Amino acid sequence: MALSLGSMDADVVLKHLESTHEFVYMVRRSSYEFVFAVPKIPHEFLSDERPVFLIHFKPEGHMQGFILNPEELEDFHAGLDQLMEYMRRERKAHLI
């Protein structure tokens, strides 16, 4: 299930994640960033801590969305594709 951060401060969310999760993949661009993080201490059956994927869009002003030109869209897609490849490798190794 997806969770929208809404008006939450992404910096606060990232700081919290840093205390509970290890960032294993991060992409930062001028208009967005995304992070894949896994729990620092695996709690498979003991808690709700699970790997998470955070997408933070960096809007200018109070904009609800943003526009990517074709090159930026291609770069966004490439970053997600690299993340998915990483996750496939980790699943094969039974690490996540």
Per-residue tens of pLDDT for the chain, all 96 residues: 445 555 556 677 778 888 888 888 888 888 788 888 888 876 655 556 678 888 877 766 555 556 666 788 888 899 889 989 988 988 888 765
- Domain ranges in the chain are 10-92
Structure token pair of residue 10: 């992404």
In sequence order, the 6+-apart residues with CB closer than 8 A to the CB of 31 are: 57, 58, 66, 68, 72
Contact predicate 52/37, CB 8 Å: yes
Q: What ranges make up the beta strands (E) of 29-80? A: 32-39, 52-57
